[in-house]
């Protein structure tokens, strides 16, 4: 039993042994990335966001295999849903649970223009009544054993009206019985500009735990978590129950290992050697081949290669080699050549 500086993370009936999770990442957090995240210390990992209509339309075949298959080693797996209509949200959530997902997260955060324009994702922060209706209906429809959590940004924008909408939505979500709340400390309008505002994340935790007297509802923070030291500082300052790592772990699963060590009061391991990087990139690539097949593997892996290359001392040349790579054989040659 590890003597951690932070308690385990409880979300509904699920208990995760460390308050450290892999955030949902569109285009990235597929089964191979989630497997690496867990192996390096994440206690839980979420898939990329699924559009409710996608979940309802996919029957079987490759798309279902790539996105919706849950292996036992990936359980409890977290699925995140996006949409705008509560009926579709409910049907899609029920289907995901039937497929084996053990936690459903509702995306009220995505800042992508096309998404917001269709009254989905971050738009819902500006429409708290609709957002609460979605959360209430999904919570009521799913078995109590499946936690329903919500991903928010700190507000739609910085206007007084949006701020009020945020706090009224937060209260409404607690009233309808959501099991956890994750907050990214930027507004929807900000997208990824500026810095994440962790003092608002701290206010959210205090509001939930003290003002609303719901300390059992976990509040997770995310935004600009790129080092183990930063994670510990942010957790201490904000009092959040856990963190979701996102951009910091794309091509750098070692950040999970470093953060886990810091959370457990151990010394933080240094950056991986080239030999360690080679081993992990090869392992990641083999997993990608297994899931997507040899023909698609290099295309799927390219963006990860670009991210992994940042840890290499000759990063620009390695990046260009990964970008130009067309075959699995060449991928392994690049590993031999540079690592």
Ligand X SMILES: Cc1cc2nc3c(=O)[nH]c(=O)nc-3n(C[C@H](O)[C@H](O)[C@H](O)COP(=O)(O)O)c2cc1C
List residues with catalytic annotation.
Answer: 110
Identify which of residues 183 and 318 has a Cβ nearer to ligand X in the complex: 183
* Candidate list 11, 21, 23, 146; residue touching ligand X; CB under 6 A: 23
Pick 191 or 330: Cβ nearer ligand X: 191
- How near is the Cβ of 127 to ligand X at its closest, in Å? 18
Minimum CB separation of residue 125 from ligand X in Å reads 12
Site string for ligand X, 208-247 (x = CB under 6 A): --------------xxxx--------------------xx
Q: Which of 214, 228, 105, 207 is nearest to 154 (CA)?
A: 207
- The distance from CA 231 to its chain's CA centroid, rounded to whole angstroms, is 15
Q: Kindly tell me which of 24 and 102 has the beta carbon lying closer to ligand X.
A: 24
Binding mask 245-264 for ligand X (x = CB under 6 A): -xxx----------------
Q: Quick one: 28 or 331, whose CB is closer to ligand X?
A: 28
In three-state secondary structure terms, 155 is strand
Residues 68, 93, 109, 220: which binds ligand X (CB under 6 A)?
109
Q: How far apart are CA 149 and CA 180, in angstroms?
A: 5
Give residues 29-88 in contact with ligand X (rule: CB under 6 A). 48-49, 80
Interacting span for ligand X (CB under 6 A) from 24-32, 138-146, 167-175, 210-218: 24-32
Which residue, 30 or 224, has its beta carbon nearer to ligand X?
224
At its nearest, how many Å lie between ligand X and the CB of residue 225?
A: 4
Residues 133-152 that bind ligand X (CB under 6 A): 151
Q: How far is the CB of 121 from ligand X (least distance, A)?
A: 8
What are the DSSP E strand ranges found in the chain?
A: 9-11, 14-16, 20-22, 44-51, 78-82, 103-108, 148-155, 180-187, 219-222, 242-245
Pairing verdict, β 180-187 and 9-11: unpaired
Cβ partners under 8 Å of residue 249, min gap 6: 22, 37, 42, 255, 256
- The strand pairing partners of 103, in sequence order, are 78
Q: Closest CB to ligand X among 70 and 335? A: 70
Q: At its nearest, how many Å lie between ligand X and the CB of residue 210?
A: 25
Q: Figure out which of the listed residues 12, 19, 24, 305 binds ligand X, where binding follows CB under 6 A.
A: 24
> In the numeric block, which tokens belong to residue 304?
């990860």
Of the candidate residues 16, 17, 26, 85, the single one contacting ligand X (CB under 6 A): 26
At CB < 8 A and 24+ separation, what contacts does 198-201 make? Answer: 198/223, 198/234, 198/237, 198/238, 199/238, 200/154, 200/155, 201/154, 201/234, 201/238, 201/240
Tell me 273's DSSP state. P
CA distance 232 to 253: 17
Alpha-carbon Rg for the chain, nearest whole angstrom, is: 20
- Contacts with ligand X: how many residues (CB under 6 A)? 21
Q: At what angle do helices 160-176 and 128-141 cross, to 10 degrees?
A: 20
Contacting positions for ligand X (CB under 6 A): 23-28, 48-49, 80, 107, 109, 151, 184, 196, 222-225, 246-248
């Amino acid at each position: 039993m590890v003597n951690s500086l932070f308690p385990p993370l409880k979300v509904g009936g699920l208990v995760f042994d460390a308050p450290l999770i892999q955030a949902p990442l569109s285009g990235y957090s597929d089964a191979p990335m989630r497997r690496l995240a867990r192996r390096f210390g994440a206690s839980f990992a979420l898939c990329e966001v699924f559009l409710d209509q996608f979940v309802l339309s996919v029957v079987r075949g490759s798309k279902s295999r790539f996105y919706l298959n849950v292996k036992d080693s990936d359980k409890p797996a977290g699925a995140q849903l996006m949409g705008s209509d509560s009926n579709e949200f409910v049907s899609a959530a029920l289907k995901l649970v039937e497929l084996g997902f053990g936690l459903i997260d509702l995306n009220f955060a995505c800042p992508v223009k096309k998404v917001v324009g269709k009254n989905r994702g971050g738009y819902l922060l500006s429409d708290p009544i609709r957002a609460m209706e979605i959360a209430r209906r999904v919570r009521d429809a799913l078995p109590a054993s499946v936690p329903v959590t919500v991903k928010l940004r700190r507000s739609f924008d910085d206007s007084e009206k949006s701020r009020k909408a945020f706090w009224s939505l937060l209260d409404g979500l607690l009233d309808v019985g959501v099991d956890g709340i994750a907050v990214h400390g930027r507004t929807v309008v900000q997208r990824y500009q500026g810095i994440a505002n962790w003092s608002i994340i701290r206010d959210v935790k205090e509001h939930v735990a003290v003002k609303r007297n719901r300390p059992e509802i976990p509040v997770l923070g995310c935004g600009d978590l790129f080092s183990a030291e930063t994670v510990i500082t942010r957790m201490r300052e904000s009092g959040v129950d856990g963190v979701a790592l996102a951009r910091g772990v794309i091509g750098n699963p070692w950040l999970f290992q470093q953060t886990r060590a810091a959370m457990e009061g151990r010394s933080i391991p240094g950056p991986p050697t080239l030999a360690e990087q080679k081993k992990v990139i090869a392992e990641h690539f083999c997993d990608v081949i297994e899931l997507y097949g040899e023909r698609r593997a290099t295309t799927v892996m390219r963006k990860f290669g670009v991210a992994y290359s940042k840890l290499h001392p000759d990063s620009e040349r390695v990046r260009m080699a990964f970008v130009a790579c067309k075959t699995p054989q060449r991928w392994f040659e690049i590993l031999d050549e540079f690592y």
